[in-house]
Amino acid sequence: MTHFFDRIPKIRYEGPDCTSDYAYRHYDPDAVVLGKRLEDQLRFAVAWWHSFAWPGGDPFGGATFERPWFGDTMAHAKLKADAAFEMFDLLGVPFFCFHDADVRPEGASFAESVRNLEEIVDYIGQKMAGQRTRLLWGTANLFSHRRFMAGAATNPDPNVFAYAAATVKSCMDATHRLGGENYVLWGGREGYETLLNTDLTREAEQAGRFLQMVVDYKHKIGFKGTILVEPKPQEPSKHQYDYDVASVYGFLKRFGLEGEVKVNIEQGHAILAGHSFEHEIALAASLGLFGSIDMNRNDYQSGWDTDQFPDSVPEMARAYYEILRADGFTTGGTNFDAKLRRQSLDPEDLILAHVGAMDVCARAFKAAAALYEDGALEAARAARYAGWNDPANRTMLQGATLEEISDRVLRDGIDPKPRSGRQERLENLWNRFV
């Protein structure tokens, strides 16, 4: 016991009229929505790094948080794990996610870092055996240490490529041992600061080879989870190669990995790339790449990655509507890759941030599910394309040539009549549900 969360009661669903801070108003894990328990639809996960490892610094100031587990020893790492599992239990959250660097102290050598990771993975495994929290995904931190400043897989130095490969192997082993449902690669430094010193061709080939090895190793060890790439356009690099879903798709096609790897889409990253979150989800689904989401938004004025907890039901509903159209999550889930504001010092802040975020997502999901079940939006979409059901029209996509189509236009006197896209009507429909 850490006593860190001592004054906080276990959070339960108490309904929309409840006035306590320490209750879910919308997230009832056992409520059945579209044939599944809400817990199994949303698959919430806590991010170890922001909740337990981040000290509250920003570019202008250092740590603001004081936590009894801050320190570089295995004893600190275990205390941190104790606190994490106490919080998972209080929230009743089904999953967590971690990087190696969040859970273990860095060793004096690579071998010592791996030993530390194995020791803490044993410890986390024992904790998992005692409660119901599972691992949504594991990942390697290939961006914080100075050795990765010029990239990991895309580093000009082959020794860094080797170190990164060995690190990913150790993190895949850890994820596999803990029964993780996915393994994530976010290429924070896989990009460049200036084209003046960068060989784009070489760096892409290194990244492609690296990901092929990850996929090979997944099959070798019998890891049944999904390999996920997390797109982001920039920050910390000036330009990151996994810019957005479309760039990741091109990269996967180029290296023959499109059937092996999916994407973990983060709301804030989508906006940084000049897209909406729902655009990235819809595109991933249409390309057969949709995997999981990181549900944290940015401040719309600041223009950088502020990793805030979600607070907007209408925005989240758009995202969950697209997830429902993609048949929901399989191995993926809703990970709160979100951090407190640096003035939010108290244990309560950490709990209430997650309670609010889970309620926002649950409310959004239920609204999206009601609209999806109603079917009016999907019927309108289908009606818009209904002309393609006519066999004569279908042949145009199935082998008819330009000359044949031209003959048909002349023969039948085809003369298209523009029709309304009915956008406002559909927006009104949307707002009846959300």
Residue 419 Cβ vs ligand XUL, minimum distance, rounded to whole Å: 42
- Kindly tell me which residue out of 102, 203, 294, 322 binds ligand XUL, with binding defined by CB under 6 A: 294
Indicate the DSSP class of residue 301: T
Task: By CB under 6 A, tell whether 39 contacts ligand XUL.
Answer: no
Catalytic residue among 102, 173, 242, 244: 102
Q: Which is nearer to Co ion, 338 or 367 (CB)?
A: 338
Residue 305 Cβ vs Co ion, minimum distance, rounded to whole Å: 9
Does 354 qualify as catalytic in the annotation?
no
β-strand partners of 239: 192
Task: By CB under 6 A, tell whether 102 contacts ligand XUL.
Answer: no
Task: By CB under 6 A, tell whether 337 contacts ligand XUL.
Answer: yes
Does 72 qualify as catalytic in the annotation?
no
Torsion of CA 353, 356, 361, 365, to 10 degrees: 170
**How far is the CA of 257 from the CAs of 208, 228, 318, 409, 415, in angstroms?**
9, 11, 29, 41, 44
Instruction: Give one DSSP letter per residue of 93-108, joined into a string.
Output: --EEEEEHHHHS---S
Closest CA to 127 of 171, 170, 80: 80
Q: Which residue is nearest to ligand XUL (CB)?
A: 186
- Kindly tell me which residue out of 100, 305, 322, 359 binds ligand XUL, with binding defined by CB under 6 A: 305
For CA atoms 324, 325, 328, 329, the dihedral sign is negative
Report d(CA 364, CA 370) in Å as an integer: 10
Tell me which of Co ion, ligand XUL, none is bound by residue 275, counting a contact when its beta carbon lies within the kind-specific cut-off of 5 to 8 angstroms. Answer: none
Residue 382 Cβ vs ligand XUL, minimum distance, rounded to whole Å: 36
Using CB under 6 A, which residues numbered 259 to 278 contact ligand XUL?
A: 266
- Residue 30 assigned to a binding site: no
Q: φ, ψ for residue 115 (rounded to 5)?
A: -60, -40
Q: Which is nearer to ligand XUL, 181 or 230 (CB)?
A: 230
Report d(CA 46, CA 137) in Å as an integer: 10
Residue 232 Cβ vs ligand XUL, minimum distance, rounded to whole Å: 6
- Kindly tell me which residue out of 181, 230, 322, 359 binds ligand XUL, with binding defined by CB under 6 A: 230
Contact 97, 136 (CB under 8 A): yes
Instruction: Write out the binding residues for Mg(2+).
Output: 230, 266, 269, 294, 305, 307, 337
Q: Can you give the binding site for Co ion, defined by CB under 5 A?
A: 266, 294, 337
